[in-house]
A and B are shown apart, each in its own frame.
Chain A
Amino acid sequence: MSDFLTVRVWRGDEQGGFQTFEVPRLESQTVLDVVSHIQRQLDPTLAYRFACRVGMCGSCAMTVNGKARWTCRTHVAKVAADGNLELAPLAHLPVVRDLVTDMSAFFDKWARARGQFHPTATRKDPFARIRPDSAQRINADAGIECIGCGVCYASCDVVQWRPDYLGPAALNRAWTLVNDERDGAQAERLRAVAGDAGCHACHTHLSCTERCPKHISPTAGIAGLKRAAMKAALRGDL
């Protein structure tokens, strides 16, 4: 292990460029540790986001050596064995400054995919009884742990090729709700995700599945949405 890391960090907006820093190499150092060292010791004007530091909030996602990752849960030893790190903002989102992106479009697409829960019961009704081993519950469980970090969105080529594409996270959210039998907006949701910019636009690269830090497979949910949309169309409901 060398004593220093050579770290290239994106500075400025979309038209910016990389600035190189030398950062002391430490044991068990995370990429977020490296960014924090630069901001606290070398250049206080560096803009970046983080909050929990333990993989719960998803706010520290960046492009590390070309791949979208949570910087807090990425050890330097795993991605920079040769002592070189390259840090850039997440792809496919407007760059506010340095390593900070504007995630508005990402979350707006969750709303466009009808990612809101629409209850069909009131607080006076008894609890819904859903078997833990039912197929729908298992499908919902597989996608429900998404924390909205944007890693899948930044890894998806279709988002780049087709900016109106809803993207893996929003479609994964829609799939968890399609499997929620308490929800009362199923038809509207399927219509929202079955359009040209919805599930059928997925090219099945599986990059979202490959990169998701929570090991969720949005591709699985998108495939499920395609099947659900096809069945609804055959029934004449779509």
Chain B
Amino acid sequence: MKTDWRARNHPAWWAFLVHRISGIVLTLFLPFHFWVLGMALNDAARMDDFFAWADRPLVKVAEAGLVILLAAHLTGGLRLMALEFLAWRGWQKDLLAVAAGLTVIAGVVFAYVV
């Protein structure tokens, strides 16, 4: 028999899911990001047009989402490295809370700045 979904309802499993989904979405975003950066070399005017287009509220919201995903993936990855490379302590859930907290802070700061 297979794992029941009810068995997965605990913080570390949700952290895994967030890490995996944020990783996949960021992987999909990266080629687009490099394509836009490439405009700086090939077609600066087109890049300016793109920035003008990107200066819309909905795009800013999407950017905040990307920052949150990046922060979640970064802090989640640091959490995993601490878990695997440092001596084990009873603070694995504290690490999770710190990672989630830093992610929220990064999102709020970005939203405030832009």
Binding site for B on A (CB under 8 A): 14, 63, 65-68, 88-92, 95, 142, 154-155, 157, 160, 203-207, 209-211, 217, 219-220, 223-224, 226-227
Q: Are B85 and A227 in contact (CB under 8 A)?
A: yes
Are A205 and B6 in contact, CB atoms less than 8 angstroms apart? Answer: no
Task: Find out whether the CB atom of A224 lies under 8 angstroms from the CB atom of B12.
Answer: no
Q: B88–A223 contact, CB under 8 A? A: yes
Are the C-beta atoms of A66 and B5 separated by less than 8 Å? yes
Cβ–Cβ < 8 Å partners of A209 in chain B: 12, 92
Asked if B16 lies at the interface with its beta carbon under 8 angstroms from chain A, I say: yes
Q: Are A91 and B10 neighbours in the complex by a CB distance under 8 Å?
A: no
Interface flag for B113 (CB, 8 Å) = no
Q: Using a Cβ–Cβ cut-off of 8 Å, how many residues does chain B contribute to the interface with A?
A: 18
Contact B83 A204 (CB under 8 A): yes
Instruction: List 5 A-B pairs, minimum CB-CB distance, nearest first.
Output: A66-B6, A206-B12, A66-B4, A220-B88, A210-B10
> Do the beta carbons of A14 and B5 come within 8 Å of each other?
no
Q: In this assembly, does B8 line the interface, its C-beta being within 8 Å of a C-beta of chain A? A: yes
Q: Chain B's interface: helix, strand, loop or mixed, by majority?
A: helix
Give B71 Cβ to nearest chain A Cβ, in Å: 19
Question: How long is the Cα–Cα vector from A88 to B1 in the complex, in angstroms?
Answer: 9
Answer yes or no: B55 CB below 8 A from chain A CBs.
no
Extra contacts, 12 of them, besides A160-B3, A205-B16, A207-B8 (Cβ < 8 A), are A14-B1, A63-B7, A88-B4, A91-B7, A95-B1, A155-B3, A155-B7, A204-B83, A207-B13, A210-B10, A210-B13, A219-B83
Question: Can you offer 29 A-B residue contacts whose CB atoms are under 8 A?
Answer: A14-B1, A63-B1, A65-B6, A66-B7, A67-B6, A67-B7, A90-B1, A91-B2, A91-B4, A92-B3, A142-B88, A155-B3, A157-B8, A160-B3, A204-B12, A204-B84, A205-B13, A206-B10, A206-B12, A206-B13, A207-B7, A207-B8, A207-B12, A209-B92, A210-B10, A217-B88, A219-B83, A226-B84, A227-B84
B26 at the interface (CB under 8 A from A): no
Known contacts A223-B84, A223-B88; decide if A203 and B16 are in contact (CB<8 Å): yes
CA distance A172 to B91 in the complex (A): 19
Q: Shortest distance in angstroms between A199's beta carbon and chain B's nearest beta carbon? A: 10
B74 in the interface, Cβ–Cβ < 8 Å?
Answer: no
Contact B83 A223 (CB under 8 A): yes
Residue of B1, B5, B16, B85 with highest tally of chain A CB at under 10 A: B1
User: Which of B6, B80, B85 interacts with A204 by CB under 8 Å?
Assistant: B80
